[in-house]
Structure 1
């Protein structure tokens, strides 16, 4: 597990990195990119990263979770823990955007399920599922400042480059 504190601009840094997951801060956003399975240890890193960003911006932060097509879904306990993680920040976390990448039926169903789960979250935390980061950032800027969307999408691509490549299958 690598821990990177690489700052490329004020408020933009990679907080933690493992082979298949990276956590970064982009201004007021905690950005997590998942390429591999969600496990308890990686989930705990995600929770710590979100806690740090919210602590740094108690007047309003956002959470952007990018799930690449290779990511295996978490088990039921980690799904419940994810909802609790988001809810635990109360008024300090203004929005959660989840990008489910991929094409076809599985990705569409997953986005639909996540959108339905968002209805169960507190109304104080807006949540929505998307198919791409540009759309997610465009929506999130209604709740927290995100700066130029193109800069955000570029930063997310930079974070992806920090991850291990997918194994050949």
Structure 2
């Protein structure tokens, strides 16, 4: 049995593909609920791709909150191999987000926290916007991390407000298998 390190098996192509999965869900949220702004989608993809390639992301969440509670959100966790779990394809439909605010929350990995300040600054200089410290709503999965706040919002043009929260992905609806329709029999 072979073993590989994160750097040997995880490439920019992998990071781009995973960031694309999250961006697809962000786009679906934009279509269904009007947030985030479609203008900021590429910025989110670029940010996530850059941070994934370095192994700097632990958890990524976005969704809507109201009165300090989650209305809905998707939560992605990065595994030791760099793969994402949770979220993908799970943007709910028909949820009332009236008077709710959209959030986008990132929790850095232990790899990020081990970097020196100058290295962090170098990585952050490649990102399309700056995150500010924030916290998740009271019924969130985690209570620390970085979020896109009002200052970063103006700089990036992204329609984000405060921090994020997750929903229990174990409650997903079962997907029915597609029934195959038999082809007509030709005679003669």
Higher strand share: 1
- Please identify the structure whose Cα radius of gyration is greater: 2
Superposition TM-score, scaled by structure 1 size? 0.32
Higher helix share: 1
